[in-house]
Amino acid sequence: MLLIRNGHLISPADELNGYFDLLVAGPEEESAGTILKIAPNGTITPALFPELEEQIRSAKPVNATGCLIFPGLVDVHVHFRDPGFTYKEDMETGAGAAAAGGVTSVVLMANTKPPVDNPETLAYVLNKGRETGIRVYTCVNVTKGMKGEELVDVAPLLKLGAVGMTDDGVPLLDENLAREAMKLSAELGVPISFHEEDPAYIENNGINHGAASEHFQIGGSDREAEISLVRRDLALALETGAIINIQHISSKETVELIRLAKFSKGGERIHAEATPHHFTLTEEAAIRCGTMAKMNPPLREEADRLAIIEGIADGTIDIIATDHAPHSEEEKAKPITEAPSGIIGLETALSLANESLVQAGHMDYEQVIRAMSVNPAKLYGLEAGFVREGGPADLVVFDPKKTWTPESFLSKSSNSPFLGKTLTGKVRTTICRGQIIV
């Protein structure tokens, strides 16, 4: 039993924004892992709630003075590398990194080895996820073996617990196959997420074609690689009625294409995500940090970064997701054209949103929590993203003023341009199923 006191609770889904205390049942107690009572600060006492006297007196106090309390974050674009690449990350270390960042629910991508295109691998992932302290969900592949040739029989895998479809990491280039996949999404009512990078416009992926590619004297990745596939898939989504998520947006043109599509008939089924690194950094970071800031799609220009922020602020981009992508130190030490793309992000995401979105004056905490908890939970139909009596006790206590410098991570990998950089805003406590996990 926990009694969280003196915190500023913000839960947009419940229209809560004020100072409240919360009485939480632990996982081993009656009403396990749920919120028993929400009341104004200082009022959860035996005198005012005699029916809860025993629980109140036995509760462990959690002092949230000076802190914000949010529903646990929901990250719907995460790579835990398990099975197949556990030298980079595994289920346990990935979940630990998530908890450290205030993330209580994750949706895993399916580009593992073997990929999640069959019942056996799906069962492996879900069973290992249940052994962690957080809630682990997973997508399954759109195409068998992620080869872009034949659709996976998704319906049986959904019945076994999968929550979405994606070949993330590999773009779906065959337009007819993409259309059939979207028809399947519409028929089953399940989201399909797209990695939008056409290799026809890419010479060296992970680095923007512009100042960064000139610096490294390589061809880089042109913005049209993203724009062209996004334009195609938005049209297909409106044609088929699919529930789609355009992943990790990097360009201002893509933001505008999505904005226009969302105003079209059927546009309510179109979703889009941005990563903290794309609204925080530009290609200058790639020049400065090299492979530690190499990712797909690449960091682009300041105008793109600002357009992404504007898109989050006005709801065009309704989801913030990390694309947490661990790689080993040896892999990232390779030359710029050989090192793999991707950075980790779970442990720094909320701090970066605090700095670059709220403290920079672009939006408020309610908007950030909608994008990091409420909206991603809705997309996948997860019981998360809200704080109410009888609901799941998945919570994060966040100190928005505390500065910290990540010198190491709970993730098995450390491939981050934010390593050694002082950040503002720190997770103090993460609670999942009524249990303190950080």
* C-alpha dihedral, 386 to 80 to 76 to 202, nearest 10°: 160
| Strand pairing class (423-432; 435-436) | antiparallel
Both structure tokens of 196: 């939008």
Both structure tokens of 150: 């034949």
User: 437 φ, ψ to 5°?
Assistant: -110, -10
Rounded Cα–Cα distance for residues 348 and 34 (Å): 27
Give the pLDDT mean for 201-219: 98
User: Is-contact 76 385, C-beta < 8 A?
Assistant: no
Give the pLDDT mean for 269-277: 98
The rounded mean pLDDT for the chain is: 97
pLDDT at res. 26: 83
pLDDT at res. 16: 97
pLDDT at res. 111: 97
User: Is-contact 427 396, C-beta < 8 A?
Assistant: yes
pLDDT at res. 28: 78
Annotated catalytic residue: which of 323, 364, 394, 399? 323
Res. 65 pLDDT band, cuts 50 70 90: very high
Both structure tokens of 363: 């939006």
Q: Does the annotation count 174 as an active-site position? A: no
What domains lie within the chain, and their CATH numbers?
Answer: 2-69+390-436 (2.30.40.10), 72-380 (3.20.20.140)
pLDDT at res. 309: 98
Strands in 85-201 per DSSP E: 103-108, 135-140, 164-166, 192-194
Residues contacting 226, CB < 8 A, separation 6+: 196, 197, 198, 249, 250, 251, 254, 297
First to last CA, the chain: 16
User: Is-contact 69 9, C-beta < 8 A?
Assistant: yes
Res. 266 pLDDT band, cuts 50 70 90: confident
pLDDT of 4-37, one tens digit each?
999 999 999 999 999 999 999 988 777 889 999 9
Rounded Cα–Cα distance for residues 44 and 214 (Å): 61
How far is C-alpha 234 from the geometric centre of its chain's CA atoms?
21
pLDDT at 105 over 90: yes
Res. 396 pLDDT band, cuts 50 70 90: very high
Residues contacting 207, CB < 8 A, separation 6+: 213, 216, 218, 220, 221, 283, 286, 294, 298, 336
Rounded Cα–Cα distance for residues 284 and 298 (Å): 11
